Amino acid sequence: MTKTIVVYFDQCFFYIEENKKQLKKYKKTDISGFYSYDYERVEKSFISIQIKLSNGKNINLTDTSTSQTIDKEKAKLLRRFLITAKKELNFSLVNKNSLRSIQKLGACWYSKLE
């Protein structure tokens, strides 16, 4: 089953819209960090993003396709998402989680440097 997910930011909120139906919004200040592949340095089109909220909940954006073929357009969109999210949230790459890496999940933790 194919899902279309649109994510975007404004001055105070992060929005996720699934299949042009349900729009969810989250305060930027409620996002404590996120795990992702380093889409800036590695061309990858597999989606593995886990956004951690300060209330302990997670937002998971994960691909179900396990194709080894890289979709160049999708890889560009993921790179643009990572660059934009880092800028909008004022986040940087903090560390890599080796367990997530072994599980073939996005292992790079992006958050505010403390």
Mean pLDDT over 85-109 rounds to 87
**Tens of pLDDT, residues 2-50:** 778 899 999 999 999 988 888 999 999 999 999 999 999 989 888 999 9
When divided into structural domains, the chain yields a total of 1
Domain contains 45 = yes
Report whether pLDDT(65) > 90: no
Mean pLDDT over 86-97 rounds to 93
Domain contains 25 = no
Question: Residue 66's domain spans which residues?
Answer: 30-111
pLDDT value, residue 18: 85
pLDDT value, residue 64: 73
Give which of 105, 87, 85, 88 is closest to 97, Cα–Cα. 105
Domain contains 61 = yes
Is the dihedral angle over the CA atoms 54, 110, 14, 43 positive or is it negative? Answer: negative
